Amino acid sequence: MVGATGALISLLISREGVCLSQAGELTSLNTTALAALVAGMFAATKEVATIVGENQFSILLQQGDRRHIHISLVGKRSMMVIVFEDYTRIGKVRMEAKKAGEAISRILEMPVEKAPDEEGEIYLPRFKEYALNLVDRIFRVDEEDDGAHQL
Amino acid sequence: MAHISSENQQIVFKLVYFGPGMSGKTTNLHWIHAQLAEKYRGELLVLDTEKERTLFFDFFPVSLGRVENYAIKFHLYTIPGQIHYEASRRLILEGADGVAFIADSRMGHLEKNIQSYRMMIDNMIDLRIPVDDFPVVLQYNKRDLEPLIELGSIERELGLSPGIPAIEAVASEGRGVMQTLRLLSMEVIRKFQL
Ligand SMILES: Nc1nc2c(ncn2[C@@H]2O[C@H](COP(=O)(O)OP(=O)(O)O)[C@@H](O)[C@H]2O)c(=O)[nH]1
Ligand SMILES: [Mg+2]
């Protein structure tokens, strides 16, 4: 996708604003924040769509001076974000987004039988024990923080 | 529910700071950001500024480290000040794993807290979040001011089952802030299912 369009970066994000996968060279970009904000933009746009009598806009395009963003819905639960510079390639971007989107949504919408390795990889009791340990260590309560007590 | 991505090898838990406008949600995030060591914290994004308290939210990603090959992350969100916008509230609650309800303890703000809490429950029901079994920590913030509402009064007004964890806080001085986050995170992890 990045190769086909000359895009700087392309992201697949969930509707809740989590980055699912990314490709491209703009590794310096804050993709975590980008994903959260784009999800917010899309939610706002959905509201706008309702007002003008549409159920949902499937594409959002932001045109800048140098960089542009093409955002498209992928299936029901995710979005593809493409950041690119050469605006004359918008047609190509749009086409590739559509193609990749269709392919990805077919995969995403396939009935997921829980992959066996998924269950095998995380052993829940141990996972929880370790994770609780991290929380215990990192979300520490400092001296000055103990003025309040848990009820 | 937690967002598990086998491709990125990460598990993201979403924590939402809910509550009436000006109750101290952003202040909680600022304090957490200030407390955490550099390597755990991402960039704190505060969009709900004095001028623009409309559609957007505050966002703060925290990375705890790896467990069983998975990077564990917490994404903290606040709901925006003006919550007329059903859509933005829903977006933020969607997929949430736990809520810190930040209440304003000042006398005269009881009704605002109650309204906000009810709205949250309504939104959760719309989103099919199992309300009764959902991790919530209630923070009675602004305990430095007077006169104050009594501890327990919000639960009583709402008819909440007793036992929902409550914490006294003065977020502007950092009191009770880390306890709230810690308690909520632990509850979220305990309830985590694959
Ligand atoms: N006195 C006092 N002020 C607080 C406390 N927590 C927050 N504030 C102040 O309350 C105002 C609103 O806080 P903010 O975090 O922006 O509220 P939000 O709308 O819930 O995000 C700010 O001026 C804070 O400094 C507290 O515990 N005590
Ligand atoms: Mg705020």
Instruction: Look up the ipTM and state it.
Output: 0.91
- Per DSSP, what are the bridge partners of residue A14? A78
Kindly report the CATH number assigned to the domain that includes residue A118. Answer: 3.30.450.30
Structure tokens at B117: 């809490």
Rounded Cα distance, A139 and B76, in Å? 13
Q: How many other C-beta atoms are found inside a 10 Å radius of the C-beta of residue A40? A: 22
Residues B146-151: contacts with CB under 8 Å, at least 24 apart: B147/B106, B147/B107, B148/B105, B148/B106, B148/B107, B149/B105, B149/B106, B149/B107, B149/B109, B149/B110, B151/A151
Q: What is the phi-psi region of residue A66: left when phi exceeds 0, alpha when psi lies from -120 to 50, beta otherwise?
A: alpha
Q: Is the pLDDT of residue B14 over 90?
A: yes
The per-residue pLDDT for range B132-177, each reduced to its tens digit, is: 999 999 999 999 999 999 999 999 999 987 779 999 999 999 999 9
Rounded Cα distance, A132 and B13, in Å? 13
Q: How many other C-beta atoms are found inside a 10 Å radius of the C-beta of residue B36? A: 20
Q: Is the pLDDT of residue B52 over 70?
A: no
Alpha carbon of B5 to ligand 1 centroid (Å): 35
Q: Across the interface, do A21 and B8 touch by the CB < 8 Å criterion?
A: yes
Mean pLDDT value across residues B19-30:
94
Rounded Cα distance, A6 and A4, in Å? 6
Question: Does A101 fall in a domain?
Answer: yes
- The shortest C-alpha distance from A48 to chain B (Å) reads 10
Question: Does A59 fall in a domain?
Answer: yes
Mean pLDDT of chain B, nearest integer: 90
Structure tokens at B77: 């969100």
The per-residue pLDDT for range A59-84, each reduced to its tens digit, is: 999 999 999 999 999 988 899 999 99
DSSP state of B173: G
Rounded Cα distance, A151 and B164, in Å? 10
The per-residue pLDDT for range A8-48, each reduced to its tens digit, is: 899 999 888 888 888 887 667 888 888 888 888 887 788 78
Nearest to B68 among A20, A126, A140 (CB): A126
Does B175 touch chain A if contact means CB atoms closer than 8 Å? yes
Structure tokens at B52: 């623009």
Nearest to B91 among A39, A140, A150 (CB): A39
Per-residue confidence (pLDDT) for residue A111, from 0 to 100: 64
- Per DSSP, what are the bridge partners of residue B12? B3, B73
Question: Does A131 fall in a domain?
Answer: yes
Q: Which CATH class is domain B3-190?
A: alpha beta
Per-residue confidence (pLDDT) for residue A37, from 0 to 100: 87
Tokens 């949902």 — which residue? Answer: A56
- Per DSSP, what are the bridge partners of residue B60? B76
Confidence of residue B178 (pLDDT cuts 50, 70, 90): very high
Contact assessment for residue A84 and residue A8, using Cβ atoms and an 8 Å cutoff: yes
Rounded Cα distance, B86 and A108, in Å? 28
Cis peptide leading into residue B147 (ω within 30°): yes
Contact assessment for residue B27 and residue B55, using Cβ atoms and an 8 Å cutoff: no
Residue A140's contacts (CB-CB under 8 Å, 6 or more residues apart) are B35, B178, B182
H or E stretch at A74: strand A68-74
Contact assessment for residue B53 and residue B114, using Cβ atoms and an 8 Å cutoff: no
Q: Are strands B70-78 and B3-5 parallel, antiparallel or unpaired?
A: unpaired
Residues 5-24 of B with CB under 8 A from A: 5-8, 12, 14
Q: Which residues have any ligand 1 atom within 6 Å of their CB?
A: B 19, 21-27, 78, 81, 141-142, 144-145, 170-172
Question: Of B31, B19, B16, B52, nearest to B44 (Cα)?
Answer: B31
H or E stretch at B53: none
**How many structural domains comprise chain A?**
1
Give the domain range for residue A55: 2-139
